[in-house]
Amino acid sequence: MKKFSLLLLTLAIIPGLFAQSHKTQNVIIVTLDGFRWQELYRGADSTLINSKYTESKPEIRKEFWAATAEERRKLLMPFFWSTLENGGQLYGDRDMGNKDEVANKFHFSYPGYNEIFTGFPDARMNTNNPVQNPNINVLEYLNKQKGFENKVAVFASWEVFPAILNVQRSGLKVNAGYTNFEDSKADAQLKYLNVIQHQAPHYLDETRIDFMTYEFGKEYLKQYKPRVMYLSFDETDDMAHAGNYKMYLTQAHMEDSFIQELWQYIQTDPTYKDKTTLIITCDHGRGDIPLDNWRSHGSWIPNSEQTWFAVIGPDTPPDGIIKSTTITYHKQLAQSIAKLLGFDFKANTDHEVGDAIEGIMAKERVSLGK
């Protein structure tokens, strides 16, 4: 009888011990549209930096060129190759045998973002037009959980995100393109950003420049303290499609600096310090061979399904570059985001969802005293 009572007591205690080991209370997701794994892990491409696609070759080589891939990637993405390498995990380094891919068959933006946030590579999502997404996404699911209500926000450069995340149904706070941020409680800085975003350069019609998207997201984070925030940058893809390798590298370097500043803030604010997981990824890859294919992507461009992601946070072991010969898919990210926060998105949707990536979460250990 005593043994049975002890067993019941142990079973009652264990869930509480597990809960105590769960440290992530907030998640921030950042995407760099169409940024290749090749530049992330190898730095500037030796062929492209000396090709017709690179203007001002001496200047850009001085900034981003070095003899080894390890040196080049540090020049290009210093935050990744200091803080993330030492304190987090990086997936998709094919030179080390690790693979990360999109599971959808289209290899362009809308299908890619749908896959990331719904966990479902839906063949119906086969356009970049602003069609309303019928699939429930993990941000919408989290926004309905206790303690997360109205604590989920999205700031995106690409104006199609209100459709991708179906704000008509989801009710999510999504500020995308050159849309003003409307809230009577907004501070002076957010109101000022509403003004200057229309005075800033408009290179791509309704797609906002990434600097403005970042400034909105940063100020929102400071004032409103969301539990989950998504920042979507666009210019790496834009510059690649334009065939401007210099600006492709420059924008990636700038976005790395945005993420670094964001992480520094997270680690100094008591709301977020040691309680926040940061996930960084892309929506698709790009071509590599032949040379001209780097500008594009899609089912017709070989290797544009090849992607990457990185994660750092209190529950993620600091393993650096993942070198195991395994493959992860972006359809697994939605459940991973939910699980980091203690929720099961997969069990609460009516469509398929990829399994969580267990390696990004510390293995829970329970030690019972005698």
Q: DSSP of 321-351, one letter per residue?
A: E--SS-EEEGGGHHHHHHHHTT--SGGG-SS
pLDDT band at 57 (very low <50, low <70, confident <90, very high): confident
Which CATH number describes the domain made up of 24-360?
3.40.720.10
This prediction's pTM: 0.93
Please indicate whether residue 71 or residue 57 has the higher confidence score (pLDDT).
Answer: 71
Domain edges within the chain: 24-360
pLDDT band at 299 (very low <50, low <70, confident <90, very high): very high
- Mean of the per-residue pLDDT values of the chain: 93
- Could you give the C-alpha distances from 298 to 16, 38, 102, 305, in angstroms and in order? 47, 17, 11, 8
What integer is the mean pLDDT of 87-98?
A: 98
Q: pLDDT, tens digit, for every residue of 241-261?
A: 999 999 999 999 999 999 999
Q: pLDDT, tens digit, for every residue of 124-169?
A: 999 999 999 999 999 999 999 999 999 999 999 999 999 999 999 9
Q: What is the DSSP string of 130-193?
A: -PPP-S--HHHHHHTSTTTTT-EEEEESSTTHHHHTTHHHH--EEEETT-----TT--HHHHHH
pLDDT band at 363 (very low <50, low <70, confident <90, very high): low
Q: What percent of the chain has pLDDT over 90?
A: 89
